[in-house]
Amino acid sequence: MFLGTRNDRQIPLRRYLRYRVAGGTYFFTLVTHERRPILTVPTARRSLGEAIRAVRRRWPFHVVAMVLLPEHLHAVWELPPGDADYSRRWQKIKEAFTRAFLAAGGTEGTPSASRARKQERAVWQRRFWEHTCPEMEDVKECVDYVHWNPVKHGLVTRVRDYPWSTFHRFVRLGEYDLDWGGENPCPGMEMPEP
pLDDT at 188: 74
The structure's pTM equals 0.87
Interstrand relation of 9-12 and 25-31 (parallel, antiparallel or unpaired): unpaired
Q: Are 158 and 150 in contact (CB under 8 A)?
A: no
Per-residue pLDDT in tens (0 to 9) along the chain, 194 residues? 434 444 455 555 555 556 778 899 999 999 999 999 999 999 999 999 999 999 999 999 999 999 999 999 999 999 999 999 999 999 999 999 999 999 999 999 988 888 888 888 999 998 999 999 999 999 999 999 999 999 999 999 999 999 999 999 999 999 999 999 988 888 777 666 65
Q: Are 43 and 105 in contact (CB under 8 A)?
A: yes
Rounded Cα distance between 181 and 160, Å, is 8
- Domains present along the chain, CATH in parentheses: 16-172 (3.30.70.1290)
pLDDT at 189: 72
pLDDT at 115: 85
Inter-CA distances, 136 with 24, 64, 82, 85, 140, Å: 11, 12, 19, 21, 6
pLDDT at 6: 45
Tally Cβ neighbours within 10 Å of residue 97: 25
